[in-house]
């Protein structure tokens, strides 16, 4: 019985390691199959969980409020926004193809709730991560390199 339990544990650990490796490699290589599955999982499971605390003081995620470019529907999406001197930088692990990014670019503005503060932002601009890496926290730099994230969205605070 002990041998069976030990074998089951080893197989389970092996499967978890394999899935984690496939996730990392797939995200780094920008595999549409992996990115689409991760995006779907986050939309159904991760995002609703993150929205419970996103934007609140001390939370690591912020909320971007945007309007659908075709539907006109208001949406809220959890993101990781980092403050700069005149705005915010948001890394784009899936690139600029997500609906929320397209909505913000089309509208030219959004509202971001970060650490309990609400910011009206405009002038959204896609930026290569390499040009803004030094303006991001070290932990974020490590994650961006690990997953080979190439773009971020820069927005400016409306004064």
- Report pLDDT digits (tens) over 66-122: 999 999 999 999 999 999 999 999 999 989 999 999 999 999 999 999 999 999 999
CA Rg value for the chain: 18
Q: Which domain holds residue 135?
A: 54-157
How many domains is the chain partitioned into structurally?
A: 1
Q: Does 58 map to a domain?
A: yes
Average pLDDT over residues 45-63: 95
The pLDDT mean for the chain works out to 91
Q: Tell me the CATH number at 151.
A: 2.30.110.10
Q: Does 63 map to a domain?
A: yes
Rounded distance between C-alpha atoms, residue 123 and residue 125, angstroms: 6
Q: Does 43 map to a domain?
A: no
Q: Does 113 map to a domain?
A: yes
> Which residues touch 96 (CB under 8 Å, ≥6 apart)?
102, 105, 126, 151, 153
Q: Does 9 map to a domain?
A: no
């Amino acid at each position: 019985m002990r041998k069976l339990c030990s074998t089951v544990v080893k197989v389970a650990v092996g499967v978890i390691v394999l899935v984690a490796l496939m996730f990392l490699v797939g995200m780094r290589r920008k595999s549409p199959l992996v990115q689409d599955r991760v995006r779907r999982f986050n939309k159904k499971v991760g995002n609703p969980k993150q929205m419970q605390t996103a934007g609140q003081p001390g939370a690591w995620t912020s909320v971007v409020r945007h309007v659908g470019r075709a539907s006109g529907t208001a949406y809220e999406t959890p993101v990781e926004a980092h403050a700069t001197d005149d705005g915010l930088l948001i890394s784009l692990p899936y690139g600029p193809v997500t609906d929320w990014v397209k909505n913000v670019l089309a509208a030219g503005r959004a509202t971001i709730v970060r650490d309990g503060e609400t910011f009206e932002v405009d002038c959204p601009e896609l930026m290569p991560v390499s040009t803004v890496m030094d303006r991001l926290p070290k932990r974020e730099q490590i994650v961006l390199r690990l997953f080979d994230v190439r773009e971020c969205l820069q927005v400016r605070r409306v004064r």
